[in-house]
């Protein structure tokens, strides 16, 4: 085990204990492969599954695993051919059995911090799907809420805006300007500090750098 691997494991154990205090389940996996296997182990064969936009889910192989699984019903908005179909799928996803996403940041004391543009992702995290499974690289860890928000505005939102070809100030310059641009991807901020529905939220921390 390298010093960094040991660091990630020990830091994750602290976060997992704090997630438990907030009525969320936490797990640590040293790599993407074991994280995807852990996530898939939670899914019954006939589950209805959807997800929020996430580079982490793509990079770790979670999306490949979901698409390759037999028996699952997938609500995949990328298959929509019109804005109306996309909107309908956003609503259907809120009734999914399982919803997958990452988190923009997670604090050492176990809070999930997310900023969204459309709001479908944070809406599903808050209420709707019976189960929400989050996969996050240890690069998403922040000391506290202030550091988490700083991380999102400086390291997550700008590259995401560029990835989505958004004509926001951060997408054009790489620097957040606290904008109110039409395509702003920082429209809603959500901090999950406690989960009232035991067993609903599971967080799988991965000992790798994943996503933004």
Listed by start position, the domains of the chain span 3-206
Question: Whole-angstrom Cα distance, residue 51 to residue 100?
Answer: 4
Counting beta carbons within 10 angstroms of the beta carbon of residue 191, is it exposed (0 to 12), middle (13 to 18) or buried (19 or more)? middle
The domain made up of 3-206 has a fold known as Rossmann fold (3.40.50)
Q: Per-residue pLDDT tens for 22-81? A: 999 999 999 999 999 999 999 998 999 999 999 999 999 999 999 999 999 999 998 889
Q: Per-residue pLDDT tens for 79-130? A: 889 999 999 999 999 999 999 999 999 999 999 999 999 899 999 999 999 9
Phi, psi (rounded to 5 degrees) for 20? -60, -40
CB 34 within 8 A of CB 208: no
pLDDT of residue 78: 87
Tokens of 6: 């040991």
pTM over 0.75: yes
Q: How confident is the model at residue 186 (pLDDT cuts 50, 70, 90)?
A: very high
Going from the C-alpha of 22 to that of each of 18, 26, 45, 75, 89, the distances in angstroms are: 7, 10, 29, 29, 30
């Amino acid at each position: 085990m390298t010093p960094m691997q040991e660091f990630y494991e020990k830091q994750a154990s602290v976060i997992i204990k704090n997630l438990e205090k907030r009525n969320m389940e936490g797990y640590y996996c040293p790599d993407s492969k074991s994280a995807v296997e852990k996530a898939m182990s939670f899914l019954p064969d006939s589950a209805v599954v959807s997800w929020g936009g996430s580079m982490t889910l793509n990079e770790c192989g979670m999306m490949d695993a979901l698409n390759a699984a037999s028996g699952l019903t997938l609500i995949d908005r990328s298959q929509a051919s019109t804005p109306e179909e996309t909107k309908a799928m956003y609503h259907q996803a809120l009734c999914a059995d399982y919803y997958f996403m990452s988190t923009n940041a997670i604090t050492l004391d176990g809070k999930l911090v997310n900023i969204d543009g459309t709001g479908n992702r944070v809406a599903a995290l808050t209420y709707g799907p019976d189960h929400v499974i989050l996969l996050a690289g240890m690069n998403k860890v922040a000391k506290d809420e202030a550091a988490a928000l700083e991380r999102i505005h400086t390291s997550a939102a700008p590259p995401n805006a560029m990835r989505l070809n958004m004509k926001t100030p951060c997408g054009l310059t790489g620097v957040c300007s606290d904008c109110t641009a039409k395509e702003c991807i920082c429209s809603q901020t959500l901090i999950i500090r406690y989960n009232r529905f035991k067993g609903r939220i599971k967080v799988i921390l991965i000992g790798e750098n994943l996503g933004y």
